[in-house]
Amino acid sequence: MANEQSFEQFFESELTPALQPLEKQRKELVKKITITCGGIAIVAIVIAIFLIVNSANLMLLLFFVIGSFALGAFLIKRMSSEYVFSFKTLVVEPIIQYISPDLTYSPKSGISESRFRASEIFRHSIDRYHCEDLIQGPVEQTHINFSELHAEYKTESRDSKGHRQTNWHTIFKGLFFIADFNKYFKGRTFVLPDSAEKLFGRFGQKIQEIGKSHGKLVKLEDPDFEREFAVYSTDQVEARYILSPALMRRLLKFKNKTGEKVYFSFTGGEVNIGISSTKNRFEPKLFSTVLNIELAREFVEDLQMALDVVDDLNLNTRIWTKE
């Protein structure tokens, strides 16, 4: 990436002109939202008072309050979707182009469900899948794709009154990468967070279960690495061919840098990386100005962190037979 000063220049000369109409759009949107939500609030308060005066039961009141919040949230989301999209095309895209012109950005698509499945990191069947902010292109010799994604499964239960309840559980939420790996391999190798989380009970068990179906456990010689990760593979030698002592160190460092739970799988000549995170990246903030270089800088940092994966894993070292 270019230096700080030129980023400021870029922000002034390239982004600001695009941001001005966007800022206007944002202000109008905020006005609309304030009016709508204010309207809902007034009506809701009136009805609530009516309910209280008529001493309706507490459950009904509670449902009503939750219901009006949900309606408000739904309307905000609906009204702002157009703004979010123009923000992404007018702000995020130029920033990505600024960092590397080889990259392409598609706000509305992402790593497809089938590719996510093909990584085989998560074996749970998926009931709801959402992805956005796909960025793809080459970083020198290494082709990468990454996007945000959220995969969930559902369970149904009945409460004491016989009402059916649907609960959604997250399988994975965060940034997901697929990058071309710099060595040839045929089998499948998985580097998963270790069940040191056994301590946390149920959650730890869940992780162990993930492991079971991933092939044979590979015991590696780096104790620090072994403490953080559990490695499973269909081929003991190939797993070590992929996970050279240097790469083990790099994966460990990468894990510590992100500070999140990270999953790796090596399948079909590619490395798949899942960085779980609750942060929704590349989104505008509705209630603060877009004419703020700090916000743009945050995008640059997020993006740079993602692109650094190639360097962090040394994927551009092409000294083996794969070019």
Partner 1 sequence: MIIGLIILVVLAIILFSMYNSLVGKKNMVEQAFGSIDVMCKKRYDLIPNLVASVKQYTAHEAGTLEKVTALRNQAAAGNLSPDETVQLNNQLTHALGGLMVTVEAYPELKANENFLQLQRALNETEEQLSASRRAFNSAVTDFNNAVEMFPTNIMANIMHYTRRQLFEAAEQERKNVDVEQLFNG
Q: Which CB, 112 or 236, lies closer to partner 1?
A: 236
Long-range contacts of 10-19 (CB under 8 A, 24+ apart): 10/98, 11/293, 11/296, 14/94, 14/98, 15/91, 15/94, 15/95, 15/296, 16/291, 18/90, 18/91, 18/94, 19/90, 19/91, 19/290, 19/291
> Is 240 a residue that touches partner 1 (CB under 8 A)?
yes
> Is 320 a residue that touches partner 1 (CB under 8 A)?
yes
- Virtual CA dihedral for 135, 210, 259, 168, nearest 10 degrees? 70
Name every residue whose Cβ is closer than 8 Å to that of residue 289 and which is 6 or more positions away in sequence.
23, 26
User: What are the Cα distances from residue 132, in Å, to 261, 282, 296?
Assistant: 20, 10, 19
> Is 238 a residue that touches partner 1 (CB under 8 A)?
yes
Provide the 8-state DSSP code for 91. I
Among the listed ranges 7-15, 63-71, 92-100, 315-323, the one in contact with partner 1 (CB under 8 A) is 315-323
The helix (H) or strand (E) run that includes residue 78 is helix 58-87
Residues that bind partner 1 (rule: CB under 8 A) add up to a total of 16
- Virtual CA dihedral for 242, 248, 251, 257, nearest 10 degrees? -170
Among the listed ranges 36-44, 47-55, 276-284, 313-321, the one in contact with partner 1 (CB under 8 A) is 313-321
Strands 164-180 and 189-193: unpaired
As measured in angstroms, the least distance from the Cβ of 124 to partner 1 is 30
Which positions from 244 through 283 interact with partner 1, judged by CB under 8 A? 244
As measured in angstroms, the least distance from the Cβ of 269 to partner 1 is 15
Which positions from 65 through 94 interact with partner 1, judged by CB under 8 A? none
Distance CA 92, CA 22 (A): 13
Distance CA 131, CA 282 (A): 13
Which positions from 165 through 204 interact with partner 1, judged by CB under 8 A? 183
> Is 159 a residue that touches partner 1 (CB under 8 A)?
no
> Is 319 a residue that touches partner 1 (CB under 8 A)?
yes
Q: Which CB, 93 or 238, lies closer to partner 1?
A: 238
Q: Which CB, 163 or 219, lies closer to partner 1?
A: 219
> Is 221 a residue that touches partner 1 (CB under 8 A)?
yes
As measured in angstroms, the least distance from the Cβ of 286 to partner 1 is 51
Q: Which CB, 221 or 294, lies closer to partner 1?
A: 221
- Virtual CA dihedral for 170, 268, 110, 251, nearest 10 degrees? 60
Among the listed ranges 46-54, 74-82, 120-128, 213-221, the one in contact with partner 1 (CB under 8 A) is 213-221
Residue ranges that bind partner 1, judged by CB under 8 A: 183, 218-221, 236-241, 244, 319-321, 323
